[in-house]
Every structure is written in C-alpha cells, then in structure tokens.
Amino acid sequence: MINIMKNFFILLVLSTTLVFAQETSKWSLYGGVTSMNTSIDEGATNLLGSNLGFGYKITDKLSIGMGLSQRGFTAENGYDEPYCYWDEEDNRECFDIEVDTDEDEGRENNRPSFDDGEDEWYGEHEMSTRYEGIEFWMSYTLFDNDNFSLWTGPVYSVLYELTEEIQADDFTESFTEEIEESDYGLMIGATLPIKNKLGMNIGYYHSLDEMEFNNVFIELNLFL
C-alpha cells in the first residue's frame, strides 16, 4: 500500500509535467528539508525530515499543489518522565516508567518491546517519531515583486506510515506500521528568486490538529 501510494505520486508528477508542459509559467516542482517538532511535548526536540512535490498556479495570487511530506519530533525519556503513546483509538496514554514494571502495561497496541535483554524501556532513551504523508495545499500571495513574494494558506495531509526509532547508549531499535490518520494546519512563507526559473522557499507550518506539529522548511523551487 505504501509503495503503491509513492509510485502513484511520482507517476502523477511526471504525467502532469509532460501533459501540461506548454503552460510553462504555471507548473513548478519543489523539494527540500524540514526541521520538525511538536508543541504537545515541552521536552521534544527537532527531527530532520524532507519533502517533495509540485504546484500549479491558478491565478497570479492563488496556487495549489500536493507532495510527499513528513511530520515528527524527537523526545528523551528517562526514569523521571512518563512514557506516552497514541493507542488504536487515537487517545494519548501515559504511564510512569519508574512505577509500572510490566513492559506491556498501558501500551495495549501490540507494538514490539524495546528490549535488549535488560528491559531498556525503563532506562534513559531517545525516541524519534516520524510520520510519512501526502499533503495537499493551497497558497495565496500576499505580496509579490521581482525580488520577493510572501504567501500563506491551508495544508491537509493524509498520514499513511509511522516509524518510531529508539536509541539508548549503543542500542537502537525501530519499528514501522501503516496508519490511517490526518493532519491539517496553516503555513506561511516566502519565495526568493535565485537564477532564471530557480527559486528558494522558506516557510513555517503549524498544525491545528491534536498533535500540534510545527515544521520549518527550506526548499528549492523550479518553475517549469
């Protein structure tokens, strides 16, 4: 399912580029890096991600597009901090690592245990959480001249894969599962011309959903 969605997206990008090549001023491709985090956990730190997509200019001020994107964050847990997760009903569950000695108690979602023989769930460890998704966006240009353009708009993402990686000392374990979740929010950013049809996007995305993701992204933007 995951590979099918990725292949479909790549095919869609190539087909739209070929079919609408005559409208060279309206289509663009973009790709870049993202610094990802969440506001739901005060101890969360940034996680590096990536994005890739295309856009179509409907009018001089209004554009739409879609792309492959990521959400995520990194958190450090230890004896003094509870372990939290999202259960199958999208409820956030937490339990005290120091008190609850049964490694399966409170988790109830059949995820693999983080265990190298010494029950490392209950030692200090760093966990990175990464969501893969396909996002659909719309942007409205607030200001535009030859040197700079400012835009904003809504974003809706279909999240289809979750990967969690846990690191403690020299031990690393990760597991991935298919999910059916979504995220939505607002973005604001600017486009700076570099040379000819190449530009750079710098922007910020803030989720309005319960996970409260926030991403800072830098992209190269090629006008076709």
Average pLDDT, the chain: 78
- The pLDDT, as a whole number, for residue 86 is 64
CA dihedral 133, 15, 58, 198 (to 10 degrees): 80
Instruction: Give the pLDDT confidence of 153-165 residue by residue, as tens digits.
Output: 999 999 999 999 8
Mean pLDDT of 111-135: 65
5's enclosing H/E stretch is helix 2-19
- The pLDDT, as a whole number, for residue 191 is 95
Instruction: Give the pLDDT confidence of 131-147 residue by residue, as tens digits.
Output: 999 999 999 999 999 88
16's enclosing H/E stretch is helix 2-19
Range in 28-32, 97-101, 164-168 the model is least confident about: 97-101
2's enclosing H/E stretch is helix 2-19
- What is the b/e burial string over 161-192, where b = at least 16 CB atoms within 10 angstroms of the residue's CB? bbebbbbbeeeebeeeeebebebebebebebe
- Spans of all domains in the chain: 2-76+127-223
Q: Which CATH class is domain 2-76+127-223?
A: mainly beta
pTM of the model: 0.71
Q: Is the pLDDT of residue 129 over 70?
A: yes
